[in-house]
Chains A and B, each alone.
Chain A
């Protein structure tokens, strides 16, 4: 903003944050920067005379552009159009979030509403209401997710390994594309073979020029397409080199070749192409989805797509993207709900953007989750990528929402990657003049991305593709190659996918294939009507999404502590020497350790071994002229009471209380329990030198001095997030060792290593 001089120091910090790389556009309807309800949007209208539409959204039939014309001819259910248009928009909006109004009724009514009417209806819903409406309106009950699997070298070996990885994590569709146009066959083939290593039914797409995409589909390597782009203005449509009729024809052609198809549309496409007509993003998208239903395509990928960053730059942009998806669901289209383009550099904005979709569920949460590293994504970085996959798992887990993915144990992961590498190598060796060394294969097995692989380079891949074309290789040759070398399971799974094509069951709305079974809006319709209905996670599924790679249990903590304890036993020894009585030495400082200290717990949450902690405290006390005594407190593990118990035993009246996890207090016998001299609660930050200083201060209090309190520097770390799981488990071990009513015991401490 021009009026900001950036004098406030905090702006410097903000300017360093990722958010500062994002751009925010001023709302400007005239120039197309308007999420919804532009003053240039038409008012809803529909005039029908003698069964013919003579006016729609203020435009007379004689002035219909191609989009109006196609919608007018093919979209409407004229038997309900009058009633639907007569419904108050706010009333219909209310019905969208009313659990007692069934989806079927809403879908049917929507077929009587014009694009302007539909946009007006959605304008009445808040973001929360949109998400709720989506949970009711999405077509398939079971949510799913789609992965991008590509790499910067078009290397089929890595691609097969990554396709297997994606299939394991749970993606039901894999979309690939090429860096070099001629590499489509190996990409598609590699994804199909890699996925077949894991399960039967992952749908594969290779996004390419239409004719090439059809040829690869005919060879049996792919099973769906989503490159049928449509636009909301006539000029953009023509600029996109298509018309509603050419796209409708192509949609029928894909059906004729047994390919599942969905259209692509999304706000800001028209703005980017320079033909927005001053209309709002949502109104233009309403035209797109009406057109798609009219064409008879089963579904759409919408919600910004490539335009999502631009839509997100305007006020209400995130709301608009969600509204587009709700519109698609209302129109009974399978909705792959965008979330494929990275709309922001801010991880906060990324995490926030996905939430409404995860909460409502969609047919595909991402129309391309980057299952590979950002730099390997040939479509550009996705909203979520390999880098953030575990973040996504964490969101699913903590909100118990279905994003289609789950944690995979490393042994399973590596086994699948290894087998995928072998399987694709066998296929490529059999069908093309290519060979791969063991070292090259191994480079792929453990690779995060193509920076680390030493397998095929683009020029070699081009040669393979030429061979596949020249020899007219189809899935039959691939199945034969796999079967001949013992990959019977994979051969059978590829065959099973090919067999699905004969019946075309997966051409119905929102179809996915799980373990060879087609699940679509026909046999698994979403009939959400309130709590306990619609998609409810099974207990098995709940368990599956509850696992994370670095999850910690009490067993893990005990094992870890046990190992440390064993290792540290050569450094020290502590022995009980009977009940501890009160001391009379005025220089005496008593250290009261917790029940588990050095018994079952052996290092602090800050990672300092307890023998070093105790040694440092003792040294600190002695250096400042104190006389230390160590006791084991048995009746409590609470820091304050540990400290006060120690203080009451000490001849000086000053004591130190310390827990096994490292939390420490300096206490005095005349204080109330929670009013201590110094408390050190941030155990993860306390180092050996700090414990020495704490010991020193305790001695100085004992001698009647007033030391400067020990300061442990804190730089704002989320200590609770990092340590509380461990802390809670460690403390539970301590409390389980408490012996109520037992008196403290004197400890004899011996250090080895010359201490």
Chain B
């Protein structure tokens, strides 16, 4: 199939958990195979070992890209940037992006700076800066409540 853009080697790496489990480390540096019931019951691994990792997400982004899904890949890369950011910060930024929460483009730009400077979340920051421009043009900064 000439239109098939999927390279054959996707089969060799995906699903990672099945094909190449050693490519991923947990947040505490453990291997997937260490995440057993015994290790959990004896406290060798913790709840935080079961969270997704930035590395895992970047790997998935590469897979999505190769599978011909650039938008999904982009989203997974943004996700990778946000892994280490506390829930509170993320939920505050989300709240700010909702209509009428930010009072000006500057509020959004400040949030973008914070994500970029404090957490290195460059692609997500760009998305927020883009929102600032569009919200300004469309008058989304009007208070709603």
Chain A: residues with CB nearer than 8 A to chain B? 65-66, 69-70, 73-75, 77, 102, 104-105, 107-108, 210-211, 214-215, 218, 220, 234, 237-238, 241-243, 245-246, 248-258, 293-298, 332, 474-476, 479-480, 483, 488, 491-492, 495, 498-505, 507-509, 517-518, 520-523, 525
List 11 additional A-B contacts (Cβ < 8 Å) besides A243-B135, A523-B14. Answer: A69-B134, A73-B130, A102-B1, A108-B5, A245-B135, A246-B94, A246-B98, A255-B57, A480-B40, A491-B37, A508-B64
Shortest Cβ distance from residue A585 to the other chain B in the assembled complex, whole angstroms = 85
The 4 closest A-B pairs by CB, nearest first: A255-B79, A296-B75, A258-B52, A245-B131
Contact of B90 among A241, A253, A501, A502 (CB under 8 A): A253
Given contacts A502-B56, A503-B15, contact A214 B3 (CB under 8 A): no
Cβ-defined contact, B94 with A502, below 8 A: no
B52 in complex: contacting residue of A75, A214, A257, A296, CB < 8 Å:
A257
Is A104 within 8 A of B5, CB to CB? Answer: yes
User: In whole Å, how far is A496's beta carbon from the nearest beta carbon of chain B?
Assistant: 9
Q: Is the CB of B138 within 8 A of A503?
A: no
What's the Cα separation between A525 and B81 when bound, in Å? 29
Most buried by B among A296, A475, A480: A296
Taking chain B's interface residues, is the majority helix, strand, or loop, or is none over half, making it mixed? Answer: helix
- Taken residue by residue from 4 to 48, chain B's Cβ proximity to chain A (1 for < 8 Å, 0 otherwise) reads as 111000110011111001001010000010011100110000110
Pair A252/B79 contact, Cβ less than 8 Å: yes
Partner of A509, one of B69, B79, B124, B138: B69
Q: How far is the CA of A254 from the CA of B128 in the complex (A)?
A: 17
Question: Number of contacts between A and B (CB, 8 Å)?
Answer: 217
The answer to whether the Cβ of B82 comes within 8 Å of any Cβ in the partner chain is yes
Query: Would you give the shortest CB distance from B57 to chain A, in whole angstroms?
Result: 6
Whether A508 pairs with B75 at a CB distance below 8 angstroms is no
Residues of B within 8 A of A499 (CB): 17, 32, 35, 50
**A241 to B: closest C-beta gap in Å:** 6
Do residues B57 and A256 form an inter-chain contact, with CB atoms below 8 A?
yes
Whether B49 pairs with A502 at a CB distance below 8 angstroms is: yes
Q: Do B63 and A522 touch (CB < 8 A)?
A: yes
Using A498-B50, A503-B21 as known contacts, say yes or no to A296 and B98 having CB atoms under 8 A apart: no
List the A side residues contacting B131 at CB < 8 Å.
243, 245-246
Nearest-neighbour CB distance to chain B for A287, whole angstroms, equals 15
**Chain B residues in 8 Å Cβ range of A211:** 87, 91
> Assuming the A-B contacts A243-B131, A245-B131, A249-B94, are A502 and B63 also in contact, with contact meaning beta carbons closer than 8 angstroms in the complex?
no
B104 at the A interface (CB under 8 A): no
CA distance in complex: A567, B83 (Å): 73
Contact pick for A296, options B17, B76, B87, B97, CB 8 Å? B76
The verdict on A242 contacting B53 (CB below 8 Å), with A297-B75, A505-B60, A518-B17 known, is no
> Does B103 lie at the interface of the complex (its beta carbon under 8 Å from any beta carbon of A)?
no
> In the complex, which residue of chain A has the Cβ closest to the Cβ of B91?
A211
Cα distance A255–B77 in the bound complex, in angstroms: 9
Contact of A492 among B37, B82, B98, B130 (CB under 8 A): B37
Measured CA separation A241–B87 after assembly (Å): 20
Known A249-B128, A495-B40: A296·B71 in contact at CB below 8 Å: yes
Q: Chain A residues near B69 (CB, 8 Å)?
A: 332, 509
Contacts of B49 in A (CB 8 A): 502
Listed by A's residue number, 11 A-B pairs whose Cβ atoms lie within 8 Å are A237-B99, A238-B99, A241-B144, A246-B99, A255-B78, A474-B47, A483-B41, A488-B37, A495-B37, A504-B60, A508-B60
Q: Residue on A with the closest CB to B108? A: A245
Q: Is the CB of A480 within 8 A of B41?
A: yes
A479 B140 Cβ-Cβ under 8 A: no
**A210 vs B5: C-alpha distance when bound (angstroms):** 36
Contact of A66 among B32, B71, B138, B144 (CB under 8 A): B138
Whether B40 contacts A479 by the Cβ 8 Å rule is yes
